[in-house]
Structure 1
């Protein structure tokens, strides 16, 4: 008997928390503090550090930089540089790795891609460092610019670029946050929420199409 036809003709994956372990809160906070120090601010408020780490918008960035009389573009360049360096160091020293079930993606009978809110250059490093390039036909992270904050998920900008690359009409997006679910819905895609350890108890206002325990279950959904 022939295997069933795939339910979708492409699958897109978030990166952090889906393919690789997410960065620790302490690592992200220290990278933000390093950026403040590089800009001449030795003791930023905890509130401002948390805001820089947790989904900062261009408007909030402007408010924070105004409080310290900083140029937003210059500060953000420092933040992005320190943030990426902290991530690459964690991968290189083994304190952060990829999930074992990532090998399941090789069993998918459709084209795959990566769409992440992380830096594009960081995503490229990860794919090379863990030798994952062969699993994905396309990949997108955001540029290291203030403007990219307007384009990150739940904006559909990078999802749509990946779909165009793959020529996909029916696709599934696999993520670990509500912004992933919302982005998929806005792009007209079905979504999968992977309940990893770091998001085991997360509740959402927007429900995903599917919830799974790991990437093996994603393969099963595609081929069911």
Structure 2
């Protein structure tokens, strides 16, 4: 059983925080007033192609800008976790109600080091047998969900077959990744995605993580 992190275990990062971190990254590489459209392009599901286009507009070295962006983005997340602005969901405790034989992992599009921080800061480490986020590299953008790369690595870690596993997420890319990897999927319809219309059908839908425990035990 595998869980996304942002929007499932912990609250998702506010767009305002991501925007400010991206603006700080531009300033760190000498761009004081980046175009708002370029900032939004970096914040909203950036791809390697978009990153190179944006950097080209300012004659920036993509690797240098991306290193700054990742550093500022992670620092902003750590700050909000530490000061309580952003926190874990109360229903994460429901994971302890899962069958003891159920192996669990985390697979996220966030940084691997951020997932490591989340598990330690919120004392969630004992719940999970493996975890994956992406590396802080441009190349890792190609491996984000709905790419199945990290899901497949997590399956290998736990020696679990895709057919016997669940992936729990809060976005269409989560459901697509599960489908492409051969897993059943669970869409957690939390308040921030309550009105989302999915273009792909999840295997199950729940309102919170208590629903996962009920689903597994039924």
| TM-score between the two structures when normalised by the length of structure 1 | 0.95
- 1:164 and 2:156 correspond: yes
Alignment partner of 1:43 out of 29, 33, 46: 33
- 1:183 and 2:197 correspond: no
CA distance in 1, matches of 2:199, 2:190: 19
CA distance in 1, matches of 2:216, 2:36: 44
Task: Give unmatched runs, 5+ long, in structure 2.
Answer: none
Q: Which residue of 2 aligns with 1:221?
A: 215
Q: Which residue of 1 aligns with 2:194?
A: 200
- 1:87 and 2:77 correspond: yes
Alignment partner of 2:93 out of 97, 100, 103: 103
CA distance in 2, matches of 1:103, 1:42: 44
Task: Give unmatched runs, 5+ long, in structure 1.
Answer: 1-10
| TM-score between the two structures when normalised by the length of structure 2 | 0.97
SS at match of 2:54: helix
Q: Which residue of 2 aligns with 1:17?
A: 7
1:107-186 aligned at under 5 Å gives the runs 107-109=97-99, 110-169=102-161, 170-186=164-180
Offset at residue 140 of structure 1 (A): 0.2
SS at match of 1:173: strand
Q: Deviations over 1:107-147 (max 9, x none)?
A: 11201000000000000000000111000000000000000
Provide the aligned length of Structure 1 versus Structure 2. Answer: 214
Alignment partner of 1:210 out of 178, 191, 204: 204
SS at match of 2:45: coil
RMSD: 0.5
CA distance in 1, matches of 2:191, 2:80: 19
Runs of at least 4 residues off by over 2 Å:
none
Offset at residue 204 of structure 1 (A): 1.0
